[in-house]
Chain A
């Protein structure tokens, strides 16, 4: 088994994992138009519908949520949730396609590239996608007047961590699948409930108490919590520390799992 850092043997100068990333960028530049909506249109639509539409109703009846107007409350939650969506969808069908349908990974593995490079390149690519969508989201949030802290740019890091923590475990799962049926289940039973119940749209205290431990156990809750603290400037260092530790831990777990399950699938 090759080790994690043996680029020198592989010919060429660019580290092999970056060659995989370069492939993703190349292929994206050929087909980028189709992803414009997820990157830019979705945030505008969500912020307009949830924030402005629903928000004006809430502001009218309740006033503020956690001391800010509803639009400002919901926007960081949407930032984290969109990172989850982008990373999850890039780690489901594209991974299955590269294994079964187009067999891109097999083409890569016939060259100096190794499984670790395929995995790291995938993570690198998801990171690039997360940077693009999160920067766009934060920019649009600023345009909507919902950014209240100089710490807000750090919310980009939080959003990227949220995305990568989902990308890791989901791509590891994708590498074990024979068809795409499991992805619909992940969306229906995983992503959509998380999207709705991770304090994205309302404070956690609105949920019945017995659901609180469940929310704490899920990654999106921590991502939303961290993004919201950073964008609104209401930082609680202890819970921010827990959020960060949770997300970093899940990213690391996802990376290890992906490498193991990609190897099991691709190198037989």
Chain B
């Protein structure tokens, strides 16, 4: 038994089997930075995280992909030693968060979902304050701040107060702040939610550089493009469980086809399953569009025209993690 799968849909044995320890034991995988076995978080009757298993290996970029309420943030907060687990085992950087929280947090950088910057203080002061929580000497923080602000493209704003900065700048400052202690593990909870496309791309570029520099990244997101861009491996979470796991490419290969034909029908009812049958391996009829999963979407389109069905518009695209999620749960990631 490798990764724990939810009961969402029967799945084939995973081909990417690097998750989890052999035989379902509790021993950590070699080089694991984070190891979770049957990790559970309940708030009263609500089970936010339901017996999940995963291993995060040093130097990799690991993602938790899922819709809002899937249990990503709860998992993140447990890894960050900010929230006690309800049951199961969890090891972070070789220690147990329950007993060694402060020591583990000394080696973790956290970028929380909601900014917690001191808005009245300057950009530089924010780094200074945060570094001082770790009791780093001022001189060390100043040296690191110079590099980190250049990295975050905030050098010009170093002496400005934080309040008027844009959302993207605040996020980059939060990331710079999380790096001031030179952590072994950087945790980012929905790093680009609420940012405009330009700000997101800049942020992705910075995170990609961190990844190249060998920083272990843990990222939660409900954006499939973010997960595809940044994650070496990821787990797809749904309703507190892990629905699937593997590299983005492997997940797409396993749960989707190479290409997708998206059809929109404006003004009249979309054709039913019957008239579309056989066009691809699988058909999904969504409220606003129809997805035809086929390895050759152009050919499916040709056949569609041959059947005399004319969509208002169509799009041929590569399969994405969104399709994986849809295939696993029958729902879209962001509704």
A23 touches B83 (CB 8 A): no
Residue of A nearest to B41 (CB): A268
A19 touches B105 (CB 8 A): no
Once the chains are docked, how many angstroms separate the CA of A112 from the CA of B118?
Answer: 18
B135 touches A12 (CB 8 A): yes
Nearest Cβ on chain B to A92's Cβ, whole angstroms: 18
Nearest Cβ on chain A to B204's Cβ, whole angstroms: 22
Interface size class of A (residues with CB under 8 A): 20 to 34
Q: Is the interface of B mostly helix, strand, loop or mixed?
A: loop
Q: Select the stretch in B126-134, B149-157, B209-217, B266-274 that faces chain A.
A: B126-134
A102 touches B132 (CB 8 A): no
B120 touches A30 (CB 8 A): yes
Q: List, in ascending order, chain B residues with CB within 8 A of A69's CB.
A: none
Instruction: Decide if B3 is an interface residue (CB 8 Å cutoff).
Output: no
Instruction: Decide if A143 is an interface residue (CB 8 Å cutoff).
Output: no
Instruction: Decide if B125 is an interface residue (CB 8 Å cutoff).
Output: yes
Instruction: Decide if A107 is an interface residue (CB 8 Å cutoff).
Output: yes
Instruction: Decide if B309 is an interface residue (CB 8 Å cutoff).
Output: no
Q: List, in ascending order, chain B residues with CB within 8 A of A186's CB.
A: none
Once the chains are docked, how many angstroms separate the CA of A114 from the CA of B81?
Answer: 10
Q: List, in ascending order, chain B residues with CB within 8 A of A60's CB.
A: none
B133 touches A23 (CB 8 A): yes
Total A-B pairs in contact (CB under 8 Å)?
A: 94
**Digit string of A90-132 for contact with B (CB within 8 Å is 1, else 0)?**
0000000000001110111111111000000000000000000
Instruction: Decide if A267 is an interface residue (CB 8 Å cutoff).
Output: yes
**Digit string of A151-176 for contact with B (CB within 8 Å is 1, else 0)?**
00000000000000000000000000
Q: List, in ascending order, chain A residues with CB within 8 A of B279's CB.
A: none
A6 touches B102 (CB 8 A): yes
Instruction: Decide if A61 is an interface residue (CB 8 Å cutoff).
Output: no
Instruction: Decide if B106 is an interface residue (CB 8 Å cutoff).
Output: yes
B103 touches A102 (CB 8 A): no
Instruction: Decide if B114 is an interface residue (CB 8 Å cutoff).
Output: yes
Instruction: Decide if B202 is an interface residue (CB 8 Å cutoff).
Output: no
Partner of A102, one of B83, B101, B108, B119: B119
Residue of B nearest to A12 (CB): B135
A11 touches B106 (CB 8 A): yes
Residue of B nearest to A103 (CB): B116
Instruction: Decide if A26 is an interface residue (CB 8 Å cutoff).
Output: yes
Q: Which of A13, A103, A112, A267 has the most CB of B within 10 A?
A: A112
Instruction: Decide if A178 is an interface residue (CB 8 Å cutoff).
Output: no
Partner of A9, one of B100, B114, B120, B181: B100
Q: List, in ascending order, chain B residues with CB within 8 A of A13's CB.
A: 135
**Digit string of A1-25 for contact with B (CB within 8 Å is 1, else 0)?**
1100010011111101001001100
Please judge, given known A-B contacts A19-B135, A30-B125, whether A114 and B102 are in contact too, CB under 8 Å: yes
B132 touches A22 (CB 8 A): yes
Nearest Cβ on chain B to A16's Cβ, whole angstroms: 7
Once the chains are docked, how many angstroms separate the CA of A30 from the CA of B83?
Answer: 32
Q: Which of A1, A12, A111 has the most CB of B within 10 A?
A: A111
Q: List, in ascending order, chain A residues with CB within 8 A of B116's CB.
A: 102-104, 106-107, 110
Once the chains are docked, how many angstroms separate the CA of A267 from the CA of B117?
Answer: 19
Instruction: Decide if B80 is an interface residue (CB 8 Å cutoff).
Output: yes
Once the chains are docked, how many angstroms separate the CA of A23 from the CA of B125?
Answer: 11
Q: List, in ascending order, chain B residues with CB within 8 A of A37's CB.
A: none
Q: List, in ascending order, chain A residues with CB within 8 A of B121's CB.
A: 27, 30
Residue of B nearest to A111 (CB): B133
Partner of B133, one of A6, A9, A31, A108: A108
Interchain residue pairs A-B with the least CB separation, the first 10: A12-B135, A103-B116, A11-B106, A10-B102, A111-B133, A107-B116, A9-B103, A110-B110, A112-B102, A112-B106
What are 26 A-B pairs with beta-carbon distances under 8 A? A1-B84, A2-B101, A2-B102, A9-B100, A10-B106, A11-B103, A11-B107, A11-B135, A13-B135, A19-B135, A23-B132, A26-B125, A27-B118, A27-B129, A102-B116, A103-B114, A103-B116, A107-B118, A110-B110, A111-B105, A111-B133, A111-B134, A112-B133, A113-B133, A114-B101, A267-B84
Q: Besides the contacts A6-B102, A11-B102, A111-B105, what 12 more A-B pairs have beta carbons closer than 8 Å?
A: A11-B107, A11-B135, A12-B135, A23-B133, A26-B125, A27-B120, A30-B125, A102-B119, A104-B118, A110-B116, A112-B133, A112-B135
